[in-house]
Amino acid sequence: MGTTGPSSINKQEDIEYGMKFPIFTIKDMVNLQLALIDSLNIEQLFSVVGGSMGGMQALEWASSYPERVYSAIPIATSYRHSAQNIAFHEVGRQAIMNDPNWQKGNYYNTKNKPRHGLSVARMIAHITYLSEGAFQEKFGRDMQSKVLSWGFDADFQVESYLRHQGISFVDRFDANSYLYITRAMDYFDLSHSYDGDLFLAFKKTRCKLLIVSFTSDWLFPSSESLAIVKALNKTAADVSFVEVNSDKGHDSFLLEVKDLYKILSGFISGAARKKGI
């Protein structure tokens, strides 16, 4: 649900693009944002803030258009996807593409959508958003009822929760878009154009940066953030790093973590004072 995607109408054929839509990248997303601020005659953004894929975009801004950004706050993210993250995405994509109703992406004008495949993909992804501690605290081994089905119904509350997450997701997200967006994250690698030397990607970066990670985030662990900080330090960049203590996993940046609010407020206020605004 963005500007243009697989569900948009291809005006040349008067039908949805489907899988004919071109593969796009994180940099393509940033280039589109750049076109927007150019059209609004905005010379420089005060701060670019984003978590997860949004954090990738914040890093791309700092690397590709450093003069257009005064500060950047990448949160719970990385300069490239790990093999494990690519693997999780691939399982989700296969769940969608092996749904008989996917029909090679040409399902828009049919009654049956790949709901089951997209639902399973979301369930898989949602497991990676939480930590083991968060699952244990929220659900443990709590049951839905005192009577077991002795079968494959959702006996455990965590099963019911994941099924709900999957079912609710399919009503607000396009399956083909899921394929394309996860692929964009997989392809993201700021170091690729520099033969693996990440610091070269930030050689021209002069904006102030705050890198934030969370102690229980195993999808984008703090080691990923520290690799970015190390590369930025090689360029003598103005960078700060904070690891926030949270047991909520990757989703911490979307939830009420008071320390995060204080850290962001302090950084933004300080940057504003230096900017004179």
What are 36-82's pLDDT values in tens digits?
999 999 999 999 999 999 999 999 999 999 999 999 999 999 999 99
CATH code of the domain made up of 16-80+189-275: 3.40.50.1820
Residue closest to 225 by CA, chosen among 208, 206, 239: 239
Which one from 217, 222, 225, 252 is the annotated catalytic residue?
A: 217
Please state, in angstroms and rounded to a whole number, the distance separating the CA atoms of residues 74 and 224. 12
Q: Which CATH architecture has domain 84-184?
A: Orthogonal Bundle (1.10)
Which one from 189, 250, 251, 252 is the annotated catalytic residue?
A: 250
What is the value of pTM for the model shown? 0.94
Quick check: 70 and 207 in contact, CB under 8 A? yes
- The residues, ordered by sequence, that sit 6+ positions from 83 with a Cβ below 8 Å of its Cβ are none
52 is catalytic: yes
Please state, in angstroms and rounded to a whole number, the distance separating the CA atoms of residues 147 and 250. 34
Residue closest to 75 by CA, chosen among 262, 234, 243: 243
What are 120-164's pLDDT values in tens digits?
999 999 999 999 988 898 889 888 888 888 888 888 889 998 999
250 is catalytic: yes
Which of 27-31, 149-153, 175-179 is predicted least confidently? 149-153
Please state, in angstroms and rounded to a whole number, the distance separating the CA atoms of residues 122 and 164. 10
In this predicted structure, what is the pLDDT of residue 152? 85
Residue closest to 254 by CA, chosen among 130, 170, 171, 169: 130
The domain segmentation of the chain, as residue ranges, is 16-80+189-275, 84-184
The radius of gyration computed from the CA coordinates of the chain, to the nearest angstrom, equals: 21
What are 86-115's pLDDT values in tens digits?
999 999 999 999 999 999 999 999 999 999
Which one from 52, 71, 78, 222 is the annotated catalytic residue?
A: 52
Please state, in angstroms and rounded to a whole number, the distance separating the CA atoms of residues 89 and 77. 15
Q: Is the pLDDT of residue 2 over 70?
A: no
